[in-house]
Structure 1
Amino acid sequence: MKVLEPRCGKSPPSDLLRMRIHSRILKSLPNTRPPETLFYYCRIHLHTPAIQRTAQMLQDSAKARREVELHWRASPCTHIVKIIDVYENLYQSRKCLLIIMECMDGGELFSRIQDRGDQAFTEREASDIMKSIGEAIQYLHSINIAHRDVKPENLLYTSKRPNAVLKLTDFGFAKETTSHNSLATPCYTPYYVAPEVLGPEKYDKSCDMWSLGVIMYILLCGYPPFYSNHGLAISPGMKKRIRLGQYEFPNPEWSDVSDEVKQLIRNLLKTEPTQRMSITEFMNHPWIMQSMQVPPTPLHTSRVLKEEKDLWEDVKEEMTSALATMRVDYEQIKIKKIEDSCNPLLQKRRKKISPDVATH
């Protein structure tokens, strides 16, 4: 990272904390992150008015550096927002990281569909979009990174043009899936540990696959799978339905969608993480691999999204909540030694064998 001269102030000046390059702040962007971690988020002119970038300022911490490092490693992918440069500096007497990224002027994925008016959204378009998102996830998983926060607001277009590229952003919850800590040591009891603890790599990656299933479902009908039918107000039983995998494919929205596509969604929304299909299996599915051969069947998506636009923020909020419950911070999990365990069955077993041990 580049180390810059300290500079403090209430807001970044026009030279963006002495980057020593010509830049001009155009406007501040919405902040969806906690204020204690994100200081500033804006769009800027870089070098010339023809070049625009997004500037994000994070409070310097181990977590922030991990986020930036993983995002930087993923930047070569066509469908991931590219980091241009990263700077270290001081802001309001606190160390910070200034991240310069490519500017995504096309808006969010579903906002783009909502705003298309009377133009029908087709199954072929849905397939092409899922292929783009899948390529981003495939790249991440190939370099042992799980994004763990794939949701509508993190899928942005480069511009408002028809040929704009869809890209994944926000690596705040991303995680390396290569385990550095072996659980095979004899003084522990890994065979009693849940599979997701023993295999965090597959568990973390499966979170991304569940997200693909939800996004694909919405693309094909206009409302999410685990909420009230047809995008009505979220019911109290929503979380229970997510946990139990209870969802349907109601008509008329699903009447023209093939059973093959519905089965693909089922394979992504398995309640057991280890049973969900992998990204390789997803990308090899004919509906994804041969997207240009998918029929251009008109869908109800744009109509439903437009009619239920007022509820869309609730939908995004609940998907964020659902993803949060799936994420497990494995660094906080400690496996007890056998002698420290308070398991009732183990205690009973100890009492049973202790007299025999004493006689020897």
Structure 2
Amino acid sequence: CNLMPQDSGIYTCIATNDHGTTSTSATVKVQGVPAAPNRPIAQERSCTSVILRWLPPSSTGNCTISGYTVEYREEGSQIWQQSVASTLDTYLVIEDLSPGCPYQFRVSASNPWGISLPSEPSEFVRLPEYDAAADGATISWKENFDSAYTELNEIGRGRFSIVKKCIHKATRKDVAVKFVSKKMKKKEQAAHEAALLQHLQHPQYITLHDTYESPTSYILILELMDDGRLLDYLMNHDELMEEKVAFYIRDIMEALQYLHNCRVAHLDIKPENLLIDLRIPVPRVKLIDLEDAVQISGHFHIHHLLGNPEFAAPEVIQGIPVSLGTDIWSIGVLTYVMLSGVSPFLDESKEETCINVCRVDFSFPHEYFCGVSNAARDFINVILQEDFRRRPTAATCLQHPWLQPHNGSYSKIPLDTSRLACFIERRKHQNDVRPIPNVKSYIVNRVNQGT
């Protein structure tokens, strides 16, 4: 019989004969798959997120709803992508969307008997473009930093700043405080970094708590990360395996994908800007230092090379406009370093290193890569393309076989970390502040000479 939930109720059976009548009753509850939820309403929350709300289905199938599945698609696409497999709430904040793109959403309901048909899709909602310059104007700079915080010790130094561990006097909470030199940076530049940190709502970027200004510095109050750098953490392993390197490269690439979805290029990806967060069950990489980050939009941006060019892409060295692919190149170099312990383009001088980068002059020496899989080498080769237009996006990189968990292609030979230890020690003593003089003309002359 084709019963429906609305057929539920009290059913009475009556028996009659010549001697009389008797009856008995039973309550029948017909259960089934729920109806589709009502059409969801999507509301812009930021340039990369929306908040979605919906009402429960008119019929739950006489069962408790066990969860809702939310899907989305971009305008022009016929493919619905799952945002969350199951949530009990009738609202959801959907993150990691692309600024400027129109999105549509739909919801399905589940109970023990199955999943409903999808709801009617929401109206399209177009997210605003991200404008870092406009955001910078909204930063409020407080005074009297010394009355609110006590300085404890120096954590590190950047090209234009000093980072110190401080304690908030009222809450006794430890924080990292970045003092940006007014002699080296303009106010709008410091505000740009602060606005970007304020905008990035992602667990792999540090949180900006507050901003201050002193006579000598612009001051950024930041989340304290005191578990150290990623490479130092890896060096403390008894055995470093290729699979572990792939895990953290994937982690970094996911952080980069979020940034690139905002149309922002980091432009300073190097080991010193990769911290490890050990406060959670599965350690996670935090990508720090957004001093050089820029929004990649219609205008061209030329990024000036400062200090060691080991992780710089050819377009940075040649003084031509950068792109999101500039960051991808740096990930390729980082992968090479983590697997071998040596820098692929490093030479006796910075100028010679620049030549090697521009010629993409690297190889996989057997002594360094004898225990590294072909899949890992292919990943590096795919990324280290001279023309940034030929480099894969972060999303495409994440689909590469080498970054797929438990793919079975990883080498089972422990990596030799002695060279990586030397690499880390050398990087501690280098100066990344001074620009390389006349590097562009030097490169042009050498490349034209073919030497």
The SS at the match of 1:220 is: helix
- Cα distance change on mapping 1:73 and 1:138 into 2, 3 Å: same
Provide the rounded CA distance (Å) in 2 between the counterparts of 1:252 and 1:162. 35
Tell me whether 1:63 sits opposite 2:189 in the alignment.
yes
Q: What is the CA distance between 1:25 and its match in structure 2?
A: 2.3
Q: Is contact 1:209–1:277 with CA below 8 Å preserved after alignment?
A: yes
The aligned residue for residue 44 of structure 1 is 166
Query: Which amino acid in structure 2 is aligned with residue 214 of structure 1?
Result: V
Within-5 A mapping of 1:168-247: 168-179=287-298, 203-227=322-346, 237-247=352-362
- Give, in angstroms, the shift of residue 259 of structure 1: 1.9
Partner of 1:145: 264
Superposed displacement of residue 146, structure 1: 0.6
1:207 is displaced (CA, Å) by 0.9
How far 1:147 sits from its partner (Å)? 0.5
Residue equivalent to 2:368: 253
Give the letter aligned to residue 337 of structure 2: I
C-alpha RMSD of matched pairs (Å): 3.3
- The structure-2 alpha-carbon separation of the partners of 1:110 and 1:240, relative to structure 1 and needing over 3 Å to count, comes to same
Q: Is the 8 A contact 1:209 1:278 kept in 2?
A: yes
SS at match of 1:69: helix
Question: Are the structure 2 counterparts of residues 290 and 308 from structure 1 closer, same or farther at C-alpha, using a change threshold of 3 Å?
Answer: closer
Q: CA deviation at 1:141?
A: 0.4
Structure 2 partner of 1:125: 244
1:110-154 per-residue CA deviation (whole Å, 9 max, x = no partner) reads 2223344xx111111101110111011100000111101111101
**1:239 is aligned with what amino acid?**
C
1:224/1:175 CA distance change after superposition, 3 Å: same
Aligned partner of 1:82: which letter? T
Counterpart check, 1:77 vs 2:198: no
Deviation at 1:252, TM superposition (A): 2.9
Whether the 8 Å CA contact 1:54–1:103 is kept in 2: the answer is yes
Paired amino acid for 1:155: L
Query: Separation in 2 of the partners of 1:100 and 1:266?
Result: 40
Offset of residue 155 of structure 1 = 0.5
Partner SS state of residue 253, structure 1: helix
Query: Does 1:312 pair with 2:427?
Result: yes
Aligned pair count reads 279
Q: Structure 1 unaligned segments of length 5 or more: list them.
A: 8-15, 182-195, 327-360
Cα distance, 1:210 vs. partner? 0.5
- Alpha-carbon offset, residue 236 of structure 1: 5.9
Question: Which structure has the larger Rg over C-alpha atoms?
Answer: 2
Q: Distance in 2 between matches of 1:166 and 1:44?
A: 23
Q: Which amino acid aligns with 2:377?
A: K
In 1, distance between residues paired with 2:417 and 2:281?
16
Determine the C-alpha separation between the residues in 1 that align with 2:240 and 2:205: 24
2:223 corresponds to which residue?
102
**Conservation of the 8 A alpha-carbon contact between 2:373 and 2:411:** no
C-alpha separation in 2, matches of 1:226 and 1:125: 24
Give the superposition deviation at 1:218.
0.7
SS state of the match for residue 166, structure 1? strand
Q: Check the 8 A contact 1:54/1:101 in 2, yes or no.
A: yes
| Structure number having the greater strand percentage | 2
Please state how far the C-alpha of 1:202 moved relative to its aligned partner.
9.0
Q: Which residue of 2 aligns with 1:136?
A: 255
Q: Deviations over 1:44-89 (max 9, x none)?
A: 233545x321011333511111122122222x222222222334x3
Please state how far the C-alpha of 1:162 moved relative to its aligned partner: 8.0
Q: Match of 2:369, SS?
A: coil
The Cα shift of 1:261 comes to 1.8
Residues 14-33 of structure 1 mapped to structure 2, 5 A cutoff: 16-19=145-148, 23-33=149-159
Kindly indicate whether structure 1 or structure 2 has the higher relative contact order, using CA contacts under 8 Å at least 6 residues apart: 1
Query: What SS does the aligned partner of 1:223 have?
Result: coil
Post-superposition offset of 1:241: 1.0
Partner of 2:311: none
Matches within 5 A, 1:287-298: 287-290=402-405, 295=410, 297-298=412-413
CA distance in 2, matches of 1:106, 1:294: 31
Where 1:29 maps in the other structure, the secondary structure is: strand
What secondary structure sits across from 1:103 in the alignment?
coil
In the alignment, the residues of structure 2 paired with residue 54 and residue 30 of structure 1 have an alpha-carbon distance, to the nearest angstrom, of 10
Aligned equivalent of 1:112: 233
Distance 2:287 2:187 in 1: 23
Would you say the 8 A contact 2:346–2:353 is kept in 1?
A: yes
- SS of the equivalent of 1:84 reads strand
In structure 2, relative to structure 1, the CA distance for the partners of 1:265 and 1:201 (3 Å cut) is same
CA pair 103-169 structure 1, distance change in 2 beyond 3 A: same
Deviations 1:277-312 (A, max 9, x none): 111110111222325756362343422222555433
Q: 2: distance between equivalents of 1:270 and 1:81?
A: 31
Change (3 A) 1:52 1:294: farther
Give the superposition deviation at 1:251. Answer: 1.4
In structure 2, relative to structure 1, the CA distance for the partners of 1:311 and 1:160 (3 Å cut) is farther
User: Which residue of structure 2 aligns with residue 337 of structure 1?
Assistant: none
Structure 2 vs 1, CA of residues 291 and 312 (structure 1 numbering), >3 Å: closer, same or farther? farther
Say which structure is richer in helix.
1
Give the TM-score, by structure 1 length. 0.68
